[in-house]
């Protein structure tokens, strides 16, 4: 049979599936090299107090400085890091680097705010989390609280006792915990509110829809009240317009993050921002 006959018999589908697998394998190899060559870099995005406009914190967001492709966004490689478990090593590097930067800013006479680091589900359930945090805190060498972590709802849903145990151990290190992308998971409210956490981050999709849809406005209002009743702080993600900021202030949401206040920027640009503050 000719190659063309074979193609017809086995169909395009198998070849497409082969290509997907081949691409995954080469991406995995590339990501391992990237880790070794330290091509992952931290960007920092400000978090602000919605009433005063003052800086209250920053979130570390990983980027891949690819030698050929330039700056690669997390959506293109974090899922693969998670699939391969590499996210544990990369996450450790992001946390360590965040505390190195924090210390360098201090030593430069700046007043860096608390830095939030995203912790992936696999990293959250890995025993090295605690020693990673301790090591990062030692690097910062701070008498203050330089680090917090953000965990998505999906890492928290199963295995309640284990989750509570991990969260309690993190908090014992005086590292506050935020639930990231709050509202996008499928966990029950009663489950989430029983967890020892400090902050709720309202997902960007709610913030975006709020100004067009009264239903979403009501939803955000309810989440803010719920959080306050539980003594949690609320941070709204993805604020892009003055209108959104105004509505969130009306709803008594105290902190915000979004392009309106600042995009994620490299460490040196963030330092310049601190210097100007
Ligand atoms: P996330 O933790 O919810 O981070 C917020 C994302 O929203 C960031 O995207 C940020 O750049 C983006 N963003 C902030 N303000 C605005 C806005 O006003 N408008 C819009 N359209 N977007 C805004 P980014 O940096 O692409 O990161 C995407 C996701 O990748 C993060 O979502 C987080 O889940 C994951 N990620 C990023 N860095 C890390 C990391 O170091 N470790 C792990 N495990 N995940 C990370
Ligand atoms: Mg992005
Ligand atoms: Mg986050
Ligand atoms: Mg988020």
163-214 pLDDT, tens digit per residue, is: 999 999 999 999 999 999 988 877 777 788 789 999 999 999 999 999 899 9
Residues with C-beta less than 6 Å from any ligand 1 atom: 45, 61-62, 73-75, 78, 87, 91, 94, 118, 120, 150, 180-181, 204, 237-240, 257-259, 264
- Per-residue pLDDT, averaged over 6-20, amounts to 64
Strand ranges (E), 173-270: 177-182, 199-202, 233-236, 255-256, 265-266
* pLDDT above 90 (res 137): yes
> Which is it for strands 177-182 and 199-202: parallel, antiparallel or unpaired?
parallel
Do 146 and 97 contact (CB within 8 A), yes or no? no
Distance 46 CA to ligand 1 centre (A): 12
Q: Computed from CA positions of residues 262, 266, 269, 273, in that sequence, does the dihedral angle turn out positive or negative? A: positive
**Across all residues in the chain, what is the average pLDDT?**
92
Question: Smallest Cα–Cα separation from 92: which of 57, 65, 118?
Answer: 118
- The pLDDT value given to residue 187: 72
Q: What is the mean pLDDT of residues 117-146?
A: 94
Q: Cβ–Cβ contacts within 10 Å for residue 270, how many?
A: 24
Ligand nearest to C-alpha 177: 3
Q: Which atom of ligand 1 is nearest to the CA of 257?
A: 15
Query: Please, which residues have CB less than 5 A from ligand 3, an ion?
Result: 118, 150, 180
Q: What does the pLDDT read at residue 6?
A: 54
**pLDDT at residue 35 in the model:** 95
């Amino acid at each position: 049979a000719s190659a063309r006959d074979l193609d017809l018999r086995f169909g395009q589908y198998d070849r497409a599936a082969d290509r997907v697998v081949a691409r995954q394998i080469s991406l995995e190899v590339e990501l391992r090299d990237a880790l070794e060559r330290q091509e992952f870099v931290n960007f920092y995005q400000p978090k602000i107090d919605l009433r005063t406009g003052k800086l209250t914190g920053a979130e570390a967001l990983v980027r891949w400085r690819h030698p050929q492709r330039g700056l690669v966004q997390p959506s293109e490689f974090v899922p693969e890091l998670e699939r391969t478990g590499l996210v544990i090593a990369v996450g450790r590097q992001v946390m360590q680097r965040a505390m190195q930067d924090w210390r360098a800013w201090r030593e430069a006479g700046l007043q860096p705010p608390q830095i939030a680091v995203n912790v992936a589900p696999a990293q959250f359930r890995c025993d090295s989390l605690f020693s990673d945090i301790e090591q990062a805190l030692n690097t910062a060498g701070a008498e203050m609280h330089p680090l917090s972590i953000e965990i998505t709802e999906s890492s928290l849903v199963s295995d309640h006792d284990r989750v509570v145990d991990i969260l309690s151990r993190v908090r014992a290190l005086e590292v506050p915990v935020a639930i990231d992308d709050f509202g996008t998971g499928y966990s029950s409210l009663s489950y989430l509110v029983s967890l020892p956490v400090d902050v709720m981050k309202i997902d960007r999709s709610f913030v975006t829809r709020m100004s067009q849809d009264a239903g979403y406005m009501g939803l955000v209002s309810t989440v803010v009240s719920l959080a306050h009743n539980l003594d949690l702080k609320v941070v709204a993600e993805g604020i892009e317009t003055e209108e959104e900021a105004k509505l969130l202030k009306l709803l008594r949401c105290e902190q915000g993050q979004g392009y309106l206040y600042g995009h994620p920027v490299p460490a040196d640009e963030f330092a310049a921002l601190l210097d100007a503050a």
